[in-house]
Amino acid sequence: MRKFRLLIAPTLVSIIGLSLLLAGTAWADLPSSTPAAGETPGRLAAPMVAADGTYPPVTPTPTPTPTPTPTPPVGPVLYLTFDDGPNPTWTPRILEVLGRYNARATFFLIGSNIDAYPSVVAETLARGHSIGLHSYTHTDLTRLTRAGVNSELARAEAALARATGRTSTCARPPYGSVNSTVRDVIASRGLAMWLWNVDPRDWARPGVSAIVANVRSYAYPGAVVLFHDGGGDRSQTLAALEILLPEFAARGYAFAALPCLAP
C-alpha cells in the first residue's frame, strides 16, 4: 500500500504538471493584443488592459507611412473584421445585423470579388464600414515572388479604386500567411498589415455556439476579431453575431472600424 501511494503521488504530480504545461501552451498560442514594434498583431504578449479598464491604443504593424490611430470611443471596443467578401448573399445580411447594433467593422476584401460585386462594396462603405485588402485571388502570398505579391496587392487596390474611387491603407494576407517578402512588399506599398487577436474559426462552420463561446472567452477590450462574410455558407457567422453583438453591447462595448481608408 505504501509503495502504491508512493507511485500515485508522482503520477498525480505529473498529470497536474502536464495539465499546467498544456494550459500554458494553449495560452501561449492565443493571439494577443496590440503588437510590439516590428511584430505582427496576433501572437505576442498577454492582452494589455489598463488598470482603469481602458483598452490600449490601436497600432498596426509599423510601415513607412504610419496609419493614424482612430479616435477611440469611450469605453471598451472590439474591432470586428470580415474576410473573403464581398459576397452578394452574406455581406448584405451581415451589414444589416451590424447596422441594427450601430456596429462599425472592417471588411478585408478579395480583389476578384470586388470586381464581381462592386455595388456590395459601395454599400459597405455607405454604411460607414472600413475596407482592407485581402489580395486579388486569395492565394498564399508566401508562395509568390516579390513581383507576384506586388501584383496581388496592386490588382486588389485597382479593383477597389474602380469600384469605389477609394484607397485602403490596410492589408491582411490570406490565411495570415506571412514571410519577410510579404511583410516587405506590404510595407513598401505603404500598407499596414492587420492580422487578428481572436479567431473563432467561423470559416470551418464549427456551430453557432462554438463561435459564440470562442469570442466570449477570448475577446478583450481592443481585440481584433476575425470573421468571414465570404467563402461559403456564413449562416453560422450571422447567427453568432446576433448573439454576440447585443451581449457585448450590454457589457459596454462599442464596435469600431479599423482606420483603413485614405482620406
Q: Any idea what the Cα angle at residue 116 is, between residues 111 and 122, rounded to 5°?
A: 80
Find the residue with minimal CB distance to Zn ion: 83
86 is an interface residue for Zn ion by CB under 5 A:
no
Q: Which candidate in 115, 228, 229, 233 is catalytic?
A: 228
Site for Zn ion in 24-83 (CB under 5 A): 83
| 99 C-beta neighbours (distance < 10 Å), count | 13
Site for Zn ion in 165-204 (CB under 5 A): 174
Catalytic, 83? Answer: yes
Minimum CB separation of residue 22 from Zn ion in Å reads: 29
Residue 110 or 254: which CB sits closer to Zn ion? 110
Q: Which candidate in 83, 84, 199, 202 is catalytic?
A: 83
**C-alpha grid cell for residue 163?**
469600384
**C-alpha grid cell for residue 58?**
490601436
Can you point out the beta strands (E) in the chain? 77-83, 106-109, 130-133, 170-171, 192-193, 224-228, 254-255
Residue 183 or 229: which CB sits closer to Zn ion? 229
Residue 61 or 87: which CB sits closer to Zn ion? 87
Residue 104 or 134: which CB sits closer to Zn ion? 134
Number of residues that bind Zn ion (CB under 5 A): 3
Catalytic, 134? Answer: no
The phi, psi pair for 124, rounded to 5°, reads -60, -45
Minimum CB separation of residue 202 from Zn ion in Å reads: 12
Residue 111 or 174: which CB sits closer to Zn ion? 174
Minimum CB separation of residue 135 from Zn ion in Å reads: 8
Cα separation, 186 vs 69, in Å, equals 18
Q: Any idea what the Cα angle at residue 227 is, between residues 217 and 255, rounded to 5°?
A: 70
Minimum CB separation of residue 124 from Zn ion in Å reads: 16
Q: Report yes or no: 93 and 226 within 8 Å, Cβ to Cβ.
A: no
Cα separation, 175 vs 197, in Å, equals 14
Is the backbone of residue 155 left (phi > 0), alpha (psi -120 to 50) or beta?
A: alpha
Question: Given candidates 41, 67, 82, 84, which one binds Zn ion under the rule CB under 5 A?
Answer: 84
Minimum CB separation of residue 10 from Zn ion in Å reads: 47
Give the residue numbers marked as catalytic. 83, 228
Binding site for Zn ion (CB under 5 A): 83-84, 174
